[in-house]
Amino acid sequence: QEWPAPLVRKTFLQYFADRQHEIVSSASVVPHNDATLLFANAGMNQFKPIFLGTVGATEAFASMKRAVDTQKCIRAGGKHNDLDDVGKDSYHHTFFEMLGNWSFGDYFKKETIEFSWELLTKVFKLDPDRLYVTYFEGDKDLGLEADLEAKELWMAVGVAEDHILPGDIKDNFWEMGETGPCGPCSEIHFDRIGGRNAASLVNQDDPNVLEIWNNVFMQFDRQKDRSLKVLPARHIDTGMGFERLVSILQDKTSNYATDVFTPLFAKIHEVTQARPYTDKYGKDDTDGIDTAYRVIADHVRLLTFAISDGAVPNNEGRGYVVRRVLRRGSRYARKYFNADIGNFFSRILPALVEQMGEQFPEIVRMQSEVAEILDEEEAQFARTLDNGEKMFERFATRAIKSGTNRLTGDEVWRLYDTYGFPEDLTKIMADERSIGYNDEEIEIARLKAREASKSTKEGVIAFAKLDVHQIAELNKSEVPPTIDDAKYT
């Protein structure tokens, strides 16, 4: 059977709808009612109050016991941050859809494990030999036992024992953020190649053995003091990467080779007249063009959905993520596609709206506003891009000539402060030239600049003499600066 992306989404929703799950809409990717969360980073965000048992929360989803949806997610800052991988690998995006099913105090481990296995192997007909599952191995510090129940349940549905692996707190205890709902989880991984024992490649960042679905057994609320409070009821929360599932069902080795991304590549090709996309990575992508295609296709999705849901580019928190992503993308467009910056993303936008507008009508409704905001922001960046690149060249030349081969923290800061080059953009440029930088030094430069903007000259001089640890002490009592997203998860 052929699996075009829209059919994959529909099949997932229908499978759970047939099992008494209510199909709910994706929440806004901008969590307007949760000031601790930068962007929706998982399907469960909108259900957080139900898990916590917060009074009044149940009204919104009154009497709902089971739900299913596809949630718009952004992971480009905060606790779950994949921005630096995007463009480089074949399966992390800054914006993606997370398919999920939920039980609110209704069914628990047994049923969710049965559902996931049946859906993947009977409906989507994935080969069980290619699937590996994991369970939580327990944690002494948290006082939690290994989740042998999950292991047995996987065996009961027919998973071979050597395809069931224990995992530690990093991979098998899911947390939304620094605080909030959490619990042990059990994940499903897929081996794209087969004909081998891939168990040792699970959770090793191997693009051919990738995580597809996480089943979280919600039981705790992480407190500020790091302790775990038991929730009033136990819930099921699952999340499956839509683009990853599509890539597997379409038998591709990369999310970017699927019909989720090909219409965007076609549009980028049309607008830039660059050579077509060939899905090469790392050193194989000799001219860097495939990487640039990926970055731009990914970023136009983030920009469109974030702006449609009300996050406009500015200098703090959510808005700064949007700005950073737009600047990062614009620079790729200019460097690799020789594109004019000022209305680049708005020319790619129609392809995205056409492709995803049916599932997410908000981007149709907001299309002209999004285009306007993108153009305005791009034009503003275009005005300083030339000078900023010249300044970067000067710093780079100095670094090479002096033999340090490294940008100083002050230089990185100046590029941000004077030319609006976000730190991650400067780092990309430095990486392209094999020039180093030191994160601690950049941090000192940033703190120094902040101090300078609010204190006397003497204060600045004294401050400049502090080392990073002294500065960290000083900083403890302070509100985080606006350009980072430290206050968000």
The token duo for 55 is 């009074």
Binding residues for Mg ion, rule CB under 5 A, total: 2
Name the binder of 89 from ligand ATP, Mg ion, none, CB < 5-8 A by kind: none
Which listed range, 32-40, 240-248, 397-405, 436-444, lies at the site for ligand ATP (CB under 6 A)?
A: 240-248
Cβ distance to Mg ion smaller for residue 137 or 211:
211
Longest dimension (CA), the chain: 73
Tell me the C-alpha distance between 163 and 285, whole Å: 34
- Residue 243 binding target from ligand ATP, Mg ion, none, CB below 5 to 8 Å by type: ligand ATP
Start-to-end Cα distance in the chain: 40
CB 301 within 8 A of CB 93: yes
Cβ-based nearer residue to ligand ATP, 75 or 446: 75
Position 244 contacts ligand ATP (CB under 6 A): yes
Binding ligand ATP (rule: CB under 6 A), the pick from 34, 82, 137, 285 is: 82
- Positive or negative torsion for Cα 97, 101, 103, 107: negative
The residue from 180, 241, 329, 422 that contacts ligand ATP (CB under 6 A) is 241
CB 138 within 8 A of CB 146: yes
**Smallest distance, Å, CB 371 to Mg ion?**
31
- Beta strands per DSSP E along 268-409: none
Q: Which range touches Mg ion (CB under 5 A), out of 32-40, 211-219, 316-324, 459-467?
A: 211-219
Give 321-342 as a DSSP string. Answer: HHHHHHHHHHHHHHHHH-PPTT
* Interface region with ligand ATP, contact rule CB under 6 A, candidates 92-100, 129-137, 423-431, 454-462: 92-100
Using CB under 6 A, count the residues that bind ligand ATP.
17
The C-alpha atoms of residue 212 and residue 119 are separated, in whole angstroms, by 13
> Which range of residues in 204-212, 350-358, 415-423, 465-473 is near Mg ion by CB under 5 A?
204-212
The residues with which 64 forms a beta bridge, in sequence order, are none
Minimum distance from residue 114 beta carbon to Mg ion (Å) = 20
Instruction: Determine which residue in the list 112, 116, 134, 214 makes contact with Mg ion, applying CB under 5 A.
Output: 214
- The 10 Å Cβ neighbour count of residue 99 is 23
Query: Which residue is closest to Mg ion by CB?
Result: 214
Q: Which of ligand ATP, Mg ion, none interacts with 75 (beta carbon under 5 to 8 A by kind)?
A: ligand ATP
- Which residues inside 135-174 make contact with ligand ATP, applying CB under 6 A? 174
Q: Which residue in the set 78, 167, 177, 239 belongs to the binding site for ligand ATP (CB under 6 A)?
A: 239
Kindly identify the residues of this chain, within the stretch 193-212, that bind ligand ATP according to CB under 6 A: 211-212
**Cα 447 to Cα 90, 316, 452, 464, 489, distances in angstroms:** 36, 16, 8, 9, 21
Hey, is 41 helix, strand or coil?
coil
Determine which residue in the list 12, 16, 96, 336 makes contact with ligand ATP, applying CB under 6 A: 96
User: Are 219 and 241 spatial neighbours (Cβ–Cβ below 8 Å)?
Assistant: no
Rounded distance between C-alpha atoms, residue 137 and residue 277, angstroms:
42
Q: How far is CA 215 from CA 187, 189, 319, in A?
A: 6, 12, 31
Distances (CA, A) of 260 to 291, 389, 475: 16, 33, 44
β-bridge pairing 228-241 and 209-222: antiparallel
User: Distance (Å, rounded) from C-alpha 134 to C-alpha 154?
Assistant: 9
Q: Which of 21, 48, 93, 192 binds ligand ATP (CB under 6 A)?
A: 93
Regarding 214 and contact with ligand ATP (CB under 6 A), the answer is: yes
Residue 75 contacts ligand ATP per CB under 6 A? yes
Least CB distance to Mg ion at residue 404 (A): 34
213 lies in the site for ligand ATP, by CB under 6 A = yes
**From the list Mg ion, ligand ATP, none, which binds 241 (C-beta under 5 to 8 Å, kind-based)?**
ligand ATP
Nearer to Mg ion, 211 or 377 (CB): 211
Q: Which two tokens stand for residue 134?
A: 């994991």
44 binds ligand ATP (CB under 6 A): no
Pairwise CA distance, residues 242 & 390, whole Å: 41
Least distance from ligand ATP to the Cβ atom of residue 436, Å: 26
> Amino acid letter at 439?
D
For 280: left if phi > 0, alpha if psi spans -120 to 50, otherwise beta; the answer is beta
Q: Which is nearer to Mg ion, 184 or 313 (CB)?
A: 184
333/345 Cα distance (integer angstroms): 9
Smallest separation, CB 68 to ligand ATP (Å):
15
Would you say 240 or 370 has its CB closer to ligand ATP?
240
Residue ranges binding ligand ATP (CB under 6 A): 75, 80, 82, 92-93, 96, 98, 174, 211-214, 239-241, 243-244
Residues that bind Mg ion (CB under 5 A): 211, 214
